[in-house]
A and B are shown apart, each in its own frame.
Chain A
Amino acid sequence: MTKVTKKLTCIECPKGCRLAVDVDNGKVVKVAGNECPKGEKYAISEIENPARILTSAVLSQGLALKMIPVRTDNPIPKSRIFEAMAEIKKIRVKKSLKTSDIIVENFMGLGVDLIATRKAK
C-alpha cells in the first residue's frame, strides 16, 4: 500500500485545527497543521485506533435526579460506541454517588471505567 494524505479536524480543543496526516500502510508517518502536540497524538489515534470518550446519562431509581450523567474515564473504540450505549441503557443507579464515582468498573471489558459526572442523592 502506498502513502496517502488524510484530512482530519482535531477535536482536542475548541480551535479545531485542520490536520493533514500522511498515512503509510495504516500507520501515521507525518502530521501537519496542528498547533500543539495534542494534534499529533489525536491524529495517530484517529488513524490507527479511533476512539472517543463516551458521554451519556443513566437512569436512577429512587434518587432526586432521574438521570445521572456519566462518561467513560478514557476513550473507547469508536466501533464499540453503540454497543456501549445499549449497555448504558440497562443500568439503574440506586445508591447515592459523588462525581467521579465508578458506576461500572472495566466497562465492557474495555479497560475503562464508566463514571458519574454529577453527584446524586
Chain B
Amino acid sequence: MKTYDVVIIGAGVIGTSIARELSRYRLNIALLEKEEEPAFGVSKSNSGIIHPGTQNPPDSLKGRLCVQGNILIRKISKELGVDFQEAGELIVGFSEEDTKELLRLKKDAEALGVPGLKIVDKAWLRENEPNLNSEAVSALYAPTAGIISPYRLVYGLAENAMRNGVEIYTETKVEGIIRAGDNFEISVSKGSFNARRVINAAGLFADDISGMLGIRDFKIRPRKGEEFILDKKKENLANHLIFPLPSKISKGVLIIKTADGNPMIGPTAEDTEDKSDLATSDKGLENVLKSARRLVPSINDKDIIAYFAGLRPAAGDDFIIRHEEKSPGFINVAGIQSPGLTASPAIALLARDILKDTGLALRKKLIFHPHCKKSIHIFSMALSKTKGLIAKDASYGDIVCRCEMISAGEVRDSIKRGARTMDGIKFRTRAQGGRCHGSFCTTRIMKILAEERKIPLTGITKRGKGSEIVKKDRVDD
C-alpha cells in the first residue's frame, strides 16, 4: 500500500490551505474529507470577512496569524482567481466611554501590527456611512478589512492543490488512527491510508480525531451563529463592514458586505453541545434584527431572503496549532474559529514550519503552478465581452438561474471544476441562491448535473448522500 508523506484530515479552508501550501514541495499528499465536497463543514457558513486583526488580544496566536493572513490572502486570491475586495471596517461607538474603549482596541491592534487605523468622528461617519445610526459618535476605522467568498476560496485552494498533485478523497470519513511503527494507519469509511505525518484540520471534529491518538487535552465546543441574508437590492446598505464594540464571547452582530453583493446581518453566538445543530430560530432572528438595527436602523425584516446557521469550532480562546510530542508526526490544527478564514494562509505556513521541524524533508518542486483559471461570470463582465463569449459558446447565453443571471455554461463549468451536488453548484456559481430559491431553476440544474456526471436524476443530491432531491423517477415504475 502507498505511504503518503502527509495526510491532511478535513477539506475546509484550513485543510485546503495547508494542502495547497505543501503542494509546493516534493511530497505525496492526501486530503481526506468526510462530506461529498470540500467546504461543506464549518467553512460553508463562514461570513467571508477578511479581518484586519483588530479585536484580538495582542499576545494571541490568532491575532498574529490574522494580521499576517490579511496580507497573504491578497496574493493568494489573485492567484486563484477569487475576488477579494478591500471594504474596510468600522467598529462603532455610541458614547464617550465607547470611544475610550475604541482607543484601547486601536492600541492593541497597533501592537499586533494592524496598519492604517484611525478613530473617525461623527462628521466622517455621516459622510462615509450615511445609513449608520445617527447616535453613533465615533468609530475605529480599519481600512485593510476585506471580503471574499469563503467557498470560492476553498474551491480555488482545493483545485489548485490537486493541480499540483494533492489527492483529494471526499466522502472519506476517518474512523480510526493507529500507529504503525513511525507511521500512521488511518482507517476510513472505505479502506485505509498510510501516512508518515498526519495533520488534523477536522474543524468541529478535531477533538475526536485527536482523541484517536490519545490526545484529549482540548475539547471543541461549537458556538452557533445564525446569519440572515438580505436582498441584493440592499447592496448599498453599508459601505463598510460594520461592527459594534466586541463582547467577551464574540464580535457581536455585524452588518456584513459579501462577495455576492447581498448584505448579511449576524451572527448570533450561542454555545451548543450538538455538532450537527444547524437550525435557525425565531429568537435568533429577533436578536439579530434588534442588534443590527442598533447599527443601521433602516434594516427591514422584509428584505431577508435567506438564512442559515453555522458552528464555530471553538476550543478555548485561541487556536491550537502544534506538533504533538506524545504522538510524533501528528499535528493538530484545531479550534480555528474566527478569524480562521483570514488567518488560513498564515496557518498553512505555520503548519509547514511545524512539519519541517518534525524532520520531514521539504524540497521544493521545480515547477509549482500557482494559478487557477478565473471562473466566467457573464453578467459581471462588460457587455461587449459578454457578447463575444456568447457568440463563441451559446451555453453562456442560456440563462438557467434568472434571479442571479447564471448560465448553463457557468453551471457546467462549475461541475467540470469539481461541483458534485446542488449546493456545490450554488456555492460556486450562486445559481439557486437568489430570491426564488431555485423554484425556477432546480430542474434545469439537476439535468445538467445528471448529464455531466452521468448519473440518474434520482442520484442528484443537495449536499451528498441522504439529501437526494427526488425519491423516484416515473421511468423506474
B477 within 8 A of A: yes
Residue of B nearest to A90 (CB): B477
Cβ of B65 to closest chain A Cβ, rounded Å = 54
CA distance A90 to B474 in the complex (A): 10
The yes or no answer to B366 lying at the interface (CB within 8 A) is no
Distance in angstroms between the alpha carbons of A59 and B474 in the assembled complex: 7
- Give the distance to chain B from A57, nearest Cβ to Cβ, in Å: 8
B475 at the interface (CB under 8 A from A): yes
Contacts of B474 in A (CB 8 A): 59, 67, 89
Inter-chain CA distance A80–B474, complex, in Å, is 21
Q: How many residues of B contact A (CB 8 A)?
A: 3
CB contacts (< 8 Å) of A90 on chain B: these are 477
Determine the interface band of chain A, counting residues with CB < 8 A from chain B. under 10
Report A57-71 residues with CB < 8 Å from chain B CB. Answer: 59, 67
CA distance A89 to B477 in the complex (A): 7
Q: In the complex, how many angstroms separate the beta carbon of A35 from the nearest chain B beta carbon?
A: 36
Chain A contacts for B477, CB-based, 8 A: 89-90
**Interface residues of B, dominant DSSP:** helix
B443-477 CB contacts (< 8 Å) to partner A? 474-475, 477
Q: Which residue of B lies closest to A67 (CB)?
A: B474
- Return chain B residues, CB-CB under 8 Å to A67: 474
What are the residues of chain B within 8 A of A89 when measuring CB–CB? 474, 477
- Complex Cα spacing A90 to B475, Å: 10
Q: How far is the CB of A61 from chain B (nearest CB, A)?
A: 9
Least Cβ–Cβ distance between B364 and chain A, in angstroms: 54
Closest A residue by C-beta to B474: A59
Cα(A89)–Cα(B476), bound, Å? 10
Bound CA span A15–B345, Å: 66
Nearest-CB distance from A21 to chain B (Å)? 38
Bound Cα distance from A115 to B474, whole angstroms? 19
Question: How close is A59's CB to chain B, nearest CB, in angstroms?
Answer: 5
Kindly state the separation between the CA atoms of A59 and B472 in the bound complex, as whole angstroms.
Answer: 14
Residue of A nearest to B477 (CB): A89
Question: B475: which A residues are within 8 A, CB to CB?
Answer: 59
Q: Which of A74-92 contact B (CB under 8 A)?
A: 89-90
Residues 278-326 of B at the A interface (beta carbon under 8 Å): none
CA distance in complex: A45, B474 (Å):
33
How far, in Å, is A26 (CB) from chain B's closest CB? Answer: 38
Scan residues 111-145 of chain B and give those whose CB is less than 8 A from a CB of chain A: none
Nearest B residue (CB) for A59: B474
Shortest beta-carbon distance, A78 to chain B, in Å? 23
Q: Which residue of B lies closest to A86 (CB)?
A: B477
Q: In whole Å, how far is A75's beta carbon from the nearest beta carbon of chain B?
A: 24
User: With the chains together, A89 CA to B472 CA distance in Å?
Assistant: 13
Compute how far the CA of A59 lies from the CA of B475 in the bound complex, rounded to whole angstroms: 7
Contacts of A59 in B (CB 8 A): 474-475
A67, B477: Cα distance in complex, Å: 14
The residue of chain A having its C-beta at the shortest distance from the C-beta of B475 within the complex is: A59
How far in angstroms is the closest Cβ of chain A from B210?
Answer: 51
A85 vs B215: C-alpha distance in the bound complex, in angstroms?
61
Question: How far in angstroms is the closest Cβ of chain B from A70?
Answer: 13
Shortest A69–chain B CB gap in Å is 13
**A89-B474 Cα distance, complex, nearest whole Å:** 8
Task: Report the minimum CB–CB distance from B467 to chain A (whole Å).
Answer: 24
- Scan residues 85-106 of chain A and give those whose CB is less than 8 A from a CB of chain B: 89-90
A121 CB to closest chain B CB, in angstroms? 19
Give complex CA distance A59, B477 in Å. 10
Question: Using an 8 Å CB-CB cutoff, how does the interface string of B14-37 with A read, 1 for contact, 0 for none?
Answer: 000000000000000000000000
Report the bound CA distance from A8 to B144 in whole Å: 69
Q: In A31-69, which residues have CB < 8 Å from any B CB?
A: 59, 67
Assembly CA distance A67 to B473 (angstroms)? 11
Q: How far is the CB of B443 from chain A (nearest CB, A)?
A: 11
Q: How far is the CB of B243 from chain A (nearest CB, A)?
A: 52
Q: Mark B66-104, 1 if CB is under 8 A from A, else 0.
A: 000000000000000000000000000000000000000
A-B contact pairs, 6 of them (CB 8 A): A59-B474, A59-B475, A67-B474, A89-B474, A89-B477, A90-B477
> Which 3 pairs across A and B sit closest by C-beta, in order of nearness?
A89-B477, A59-B474, A59-B475
